[in-house]
């Protein structure tokens, strides 16, 4: 038996509970990991509250990421005692995930814990922070340099947004943070934002094309916010779209793409190949200020996960939530 969160769906309805779980629930896998830390990402909030059909197998342990130590392995790439992290691959959706003491997974899904990070720090970064790095890499590879102009980060107080601000500021970019919580402006400035704007400026239906404002954009919100961000991106600028916190729709026109040569990059962390993950984690080691990471991280135990998931969905959590799965 192992302690963890279990999601069930039966005649009693959709339920997430903290309970002792029979380890027969764990699926096939060639590596077993003793989990030390997991986190709450937006997708975990959707899964635990049942707000969107993220979970596609029942019963299932949620948690799209974790960090811990290999306790059993028949995979030649991993041995007992190795420190590892996992992000995505359908874990926490179709395969039992990180919000429990133990996970059994495929060894090919794992990444070694970067030397600079503890398992706790790796999960303070988590899938949100690794995705923020993927967005920053997309803008960099597009050729956008510090000094080229403002970079807009939407959903600024969320996990992806907070890490993106810290990374971009460290790299010398001028960051404009868009948030529904302007009262948190000082916190966002401490992370590295030069300017904070109200998300209402971007969330209403807008014109197909507007005044050129952004050299680049990291968008976690989608919907009208993404459409307006594209419409106000400068000539040959780029937008990295990774989220849907404001909606899954994209009510835009082609005008920014065909008149301004704007590029829209889609960012997916879940199925990203190993080489992309390794690059992102190596860059996080180099470019993330761990003092800023600490300032945006809140720690909870497994017993607080259900309540925190509701708060995350209500937009009441700032930055990152890490979960100590052993308490
Ligand atoms: P969080 O819940 O931590 O942050 C989301 C933020 O979005 C909130 O803090 C809030 O920021 C803003 N927000 C919430 N609701 C709305 C709304 N209705 N309209 C506009 N803004 C809103 O989530 P994460 O940072 O973990 O994830 C952000 C998004 O990125 C999610 O949609 C998630 O699914 C996606 N994602 C995608 C990945 C990928 O692989 N493509 C990987 C990881 C995340 P504020 O209060 O500052 O306005």
Ligand 1 atom having least distance to the Cα of 46: 34
* pLDDT of the residue at 138: 98
**pTM (2 d.p.):** 0.97
Tell me: do 229 and 300 sit in the same domain.
Answer: no
* pLDDT of the residue at 89: 98
Q: What is the pLDDT of residues 99-155, one digit of tens each?
A: 999 999 999 999 999 999 999 999 999 999 999 999 999 999 999 999 999 999 999
CATH of the domain at 12: 3.90.180.10
Tell me: do 194 and 137 sit in the same domain.
Answer: yes
* pLDDT of the residue at 120: 98
By the 8 A CB rule, do 153 and 136 touch? no
Residue 274 within a domain: no
* pLDDT of the residue at 297: 96
**Percentage helix, strand, coil, to 5, in the chain?**
35, 30, 35
Tell me: do 158 and 252 sit in the same domain.
Answer: yes
Query: Which residues fall within 8 angstroms of residue 245, CB to CB, at 6 or more apart?
Result: 42, 155, 158, 220, 221, 222, 315
* pLDDT of the residue at 25: 97
Residue 121 within a domain: no
Report which secondary-structure segment, H or E, holds 237.
strand 233-241
Range of the domain at 103: 2-113+296-324
In the predicted model, what is the mean pLDDT of residues 160-189? 97
Alpha-carbon distance 3 to 180, whole Å? Answer: 36
* pLDDT of the residue at 117: 97
Ligand 1 center–CA 128 separation, angstroms: 9
- Identify the band that residue 8 occupies on the pLDDT scale cut at 50, 70 and 90: very high
Q: What is the pLDDT of residues 312-325, one digit of tens each?
A: 999 999 999 999 99
Share of the chain above pLDDT 90, in %: 100
Q: In angstroms, how far is CA 47 from the centroid of its own chain? A: 14
Residue nearest to ligand 1 atom 33, measured at CA: 243
Tell me: do 142 and 167 sit in the same domain.
Answer: yes
CATH of the domain at 242: 3.40.50.720
Residue 120 within a domain: no
* pLDDT of the residue at 282: 97
Residue 289 within a domain: no
- Identify the band that residue 232 occupies on the pLDDT scale cut at 50, 70 and 90: very high
In the predicted model, what is the mean pLDDT of residues 6-16? 96
* pLDDT of the residue at 191: 97
Tell me: do 29 and 96 sit in the same domain.
Answer: yes
In the predicted model, what is the mean pLDDT of residues 47-53? 96
Final residue before a domain boundary, out of 266, 284, 310: 266
* pLDDT of the residue at 262: 98
Tell me: do 243 and 304 sit in the same domain.
Answer: no
In the predicted model, what is the mean pLDDT of residues 150-168? 97
Residue 276 within a domain: no
Mutating to test ligand 1, I would choose from 65, 89, 135, 158 the residue with most ligand atoms within 8 A of its C-beta, which is 158
Residue 163 within a domain: yes
In the 8-state DSSP scheme, what is residue 146?
T
Mean pLDDT value across the chain? 97
Ligand 1 center–CA 157 separation, angstroms: 9
Alpha-carbon distance 34 to 104, whole Å? Answer: 9
Ligand 1 center–CA 243 separation, angstroms: 6
Mutating to test ligand 1, I would choose from 125, 132, 245 the residue with most ligand atoms within 8 A of its C-beta, which is 245
Share of the chain above pLDDT 70, in %: 100
Alpha-carbon distance 234 to 226, whole Å? Answer: 14
- Identify the band that residue 242 occupies on the pLDDT scale cut at 50, 70 and 90: very high
Tell me: do 104 and 158 sit in the same domain.
Answer: no
How many structural domains comprise the chain?
Answer: 2
- Identify the band that residue 170 occupies on the pLDDT scale cut at 50, 70 and 90: very high
Ligand 1 center–CA 160 separation, angstroms: 7
* pLDDT of the residue at 307: 97
Ligand 1 center–CA 7 separation, angstroms: 22
Ligand 1 atom having least distance to the Cα of 267: 41
Residues paired with residue 178 on neighbouring β-strands, in sequence order: 154, 197
Tell me: do 166 and 218 sit in the same domain.
Answer: yes
Ligand 1 center–CA 220 separation, angstroms: 5
Cis peptide before 66 (omega within 30 of 0): no
In the predicted model, what is the mean pLDDT of residues 186-198? 98
Alpha-carbon distance 119 to 84, whole Å? Answer: 8
Mutating to test ligand 1, I would choose from 65, 204, 223, 243 the residue with most ligand atoms within 8 A of its C-beta, which is 243
Residue 79 within a domain: yes
Q: What is the pLDDT of residues 67-77, one digit of tens each?
A: 999 999 999 99
Tell me: do 33 and 143 sit in the same domain.
Answer: no
Tell me: do 91 and 218 sit in the same domain.
Answer: no
Residues within 6 Å of ligand 1 by CB: 41-43, 127-128, 131, 155-161, 179-181, 199, 203, 220-221, 242-246, 267-270, 312, 315
Ligand 1 center–CA 246 separation, angstroms: 8
* pLDDT of the residue at 2: 96
Ligand 1 center–CA 21 separation, angstroms: 30
By the 8 A CB rule, do 133 and 122 touch? no
Tell me: do 131 and 261 sit in the same domain.
Answer: yes
Tell me: do 243 and 306 sit in the same domain.
Answer: no
Residue 208 within a domain: yes
Residue nearest to ligand 1 atom 4, measured at CA: 158
Quickly list DSSP for 1-45.
Answer: -EEEEEEEEETTEEEEEEEEE-GGGS---SEEEEEEEEEE-HHHH
Final residue before a domain boundary, out of 250, 266, 282: 266
Q: What is the pLDDT of residues 256-304, one digit of tens each?
A: 999 999 999 999 999 999 999 999 999 999 999 999 999 999 999 999 9
Q: What is the pLDDT of residues 247-269, one digit of tens each?
A: 999 999 999 999 999 999 999 99
């Amino acid at each position: 038996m192992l302690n963890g969160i279990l999601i069930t769906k039966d005649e009693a309805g959709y339920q997430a509970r903290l309970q002792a779980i029979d380890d027969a629930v764990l699926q096939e896998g060639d590596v077993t990991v003793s989990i030390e830390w997991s986190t709450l990402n937006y997708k975990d909030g959707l899964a635990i509250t049942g707000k969107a059909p993220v979970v596609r197998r029942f019963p299932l342990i949620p948690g799209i990421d974790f960090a811990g130590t290999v306790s059993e392995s028949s995979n030649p790439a991993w041995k007992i005692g190795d420190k590892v992290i996992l992000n995505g691959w359908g874990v926490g959706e179709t395969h039992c995930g990180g919000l429990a003491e133990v996970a059994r997974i495929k060894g090919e899904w794992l990444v070694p814990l970067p030397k600079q990070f503890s398992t706790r720090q790796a999960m303070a970064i988590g899938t949100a922070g690794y995705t923020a790095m993927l967005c920053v890499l997309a803008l960099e590879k597009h050729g956008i340099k510090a000094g080229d102009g403002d970079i807009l980060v939407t959903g600024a107080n969320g996990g992806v947004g907070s890490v993106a601000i810290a990374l971009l500021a460290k790299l010398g970019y001028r960051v404009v943070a868009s948030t529904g919580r302007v009262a948190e402006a000082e916190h966002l400035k401490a992370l590295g934002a030069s300017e904070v704007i109200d998300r209402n400026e971007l969330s209403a239906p807008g014109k197909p094309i507007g005044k050129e404002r952004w050299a680049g954009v990291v968008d976690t919100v989608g919907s009208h916010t993404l459409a307006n961000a594209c419409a106000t991106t400068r000539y040959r600028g780029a937008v990295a779209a990774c989220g849907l916190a404001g909606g899954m729709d994209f009510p835009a026109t082609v005008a920014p793409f065909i008149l301004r040569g704007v590029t829209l990059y889609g960012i997916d962390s879940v199925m990203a190949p190993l080489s992309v993950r390794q690059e992102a984690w190596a860059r996080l080691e180099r470019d993330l200020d761990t003092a800023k990471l600490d300032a945006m991280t809140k720690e909870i135990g497994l017993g607080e996960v259900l309540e925190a998931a509701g708060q995350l969905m209500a937009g009441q959590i700032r930055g990152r939530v890490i979960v100590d799965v052993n308490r």
